Amino acid sequence: MKTLLLEQMTWPEIEEAMEKGMDTVLIFAASVEQHGPALPEITDTAIGYAEAVDLAKRLGNTLVAPVIRPGLSRHHMGMPGTITLRPEVFRGILEDYVAAYVHHGFKKIIITSSHGGNFGELTRITEDLAAEYPDICIVSGCMLEEVDELLVEMDRTEGLFPGTCGGHACDWETSVMMMIDENYVRKEKLAAGYIGQFTPEVADRFFNEGVKSISENGVMGDPTGADAERGRRYFEMYQALQERAMRKNLEEWRKNNE
């Protein structure tokens, strides 16, 4: 098969893929939001596509839904370009995605995010959809807390100052964007932002008062040493975590529905 992206396939190709056992759809919710002075607003969407296609290959029998581009980004509205959806619109889009794929006959739907700000709402929506469609296996991916823990581990594994992978336009995201396409990154504009622990107090200000209340340039972490090779290692670490979480959630659903 040439592509796993549903939006790039024709309907006969999708029908044939489903007949051959491709019964799972992977839905990624991303964002269109500021990513500091060196990364474009499309960052979470570009990363979402890369992660989704790779995960579909890892899981097997999985096709990728069009990545949902704008997400919940109220905390990034302090800088131009950011789009934020009303929570009910975000919920409505996910409900309509799921209704469509259930209608077309898919049996398993995995819903996750490549943007931190979506996770909380996404978990609630996924639970509600799972209850609404008890015959369809609808599960989420990993939790935001697991992502936060992984960022700490990334700093440690790479021998970096704690907080270098701060989670937004940081060494992690910038290196992964370099891995995807070096042209995305304005290297001469790379600058550090907030470097420190993402404590509950910091998180509270970040989400409620906006990123600007913590970081003037919109960066959480230090991307100045970002590098495509390291991006490859980060990508592998995070994909392994996501794959594990998805397999575990799929297996749990199977056990509960035997």
Catalog residues that contact Zn ion under the rule CB under 5 A: 43-44
Nearer Cβ to Zn ion (54/106): 54
Nearer Cβ to Zn ion (175/249): 175
* Whether 87 contacts 95, CB under 8 Å: no
CA angle 194-196-200, nearest 5°?
A: 105
* Whether 116 contacts 147, CB under 8 Å: yes
CB of 116 to Zn ion, least distance (A): 7
CB of 153 to Zn ion, least distance (A): 18
Give the pair of three-digit tokens for residue 117: 């700000």
* Whether 253 contacts 148, CB under 8 Å: no
CB of 24 to Zn ion, least distance (A): 25
CB of 206 to Zn ion, least distance (A): 13
CB of 177 to Zn ion, least distance (A): 9
Nearer Cβ to Zn ion (44/222): 44
Nearer Cβ to Zn ion (82/249): 82
Nearer Cβ to Zn ion (6/223): 223
Phi-psi sector, 210: left (phi>0), alpha (psi -120 to 50), beta: left
> CA of 138: how far to CAs of 14, 162, 207, in Å?
20, 36, 28
